């Protein structure tokens, strides 16, 4: 529990805020986590779409619509190429790398 008798450490709060991934990056990370549940399965558009839908709802569901829309747009623009004969595990690795680049 926080010590309410002391003023908050503003520098620490700002550091934590700056180090947190953006909402768009969080969507990509959660999408990757969903795909990692069956890493050996082949990647498909259906699996990717379902994982992304769940991630968007989990990460952005309580945010204002304008923030959600912007974050979805950023995540979508950062999506790596997931086409071809890859597994969901490989797709998850690519999503995590894209999330890191997105910040």
Q: What's phi and psi for 87, nearest 5 deg?
A: -90, 170
What is the Cα–Cα distance from 11 to 69, expressed in whole angstroms? 30
* Sign of the alpha-carbon dihedral angle for 56, 60, 61, 65: negative
Using DSSP's 3-state secondary structure scheme, residue 42 falls into strand
Work out the number of other CB atoms within 10 angstroms of the CB of residue 94. Answer: 19
How high is the pLDDT of residue 3? 65
What is the four-CA torsion angle of 14, 18, 36, 60, rounded to 10 degrees?
A: 80
For the chain, give the number of residues.
103
Dihedrals φ, ψ of 42, to 5°? -65, 145
User: Which residue ranges make up each domain of the chain?
Assistant: 21-102
**Residue in 34, 36, 21, 35 with CA at minimum distance from that of residue 74:** 21
pLDDT at 1: 55
> Does the predicted TM-score (pTM) go above 0.75?
yes
Q: What pLDDT, on the 0 to 100 scale, is given for residue 4? A: 66
Query: Mean of the pLDDT values across residues 44-49?
Result: 96
């Amino acid at each position: 529990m926080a010590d309410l008798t002391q003023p908050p450490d503003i520098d620490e709060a700002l550091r934590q805020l700056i180090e947190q991934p953006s909402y768009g990056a969080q969507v990509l990370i959660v999408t990757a986590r969903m795909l990692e549940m069956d890493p050996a399965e082949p990647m498909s558009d259906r699996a990717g779409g379902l994982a992304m839908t769940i991630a968007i709802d989990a990460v952005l569901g309580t945010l204002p619509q304008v923030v959600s829309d912007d974050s979805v747009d950023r995540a979508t623009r950062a999506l790596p190429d997931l086409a071809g004969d890859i597994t969901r595990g490989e797709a998850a690795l690519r999503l995590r790398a894209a999330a890191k680049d997105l910040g």
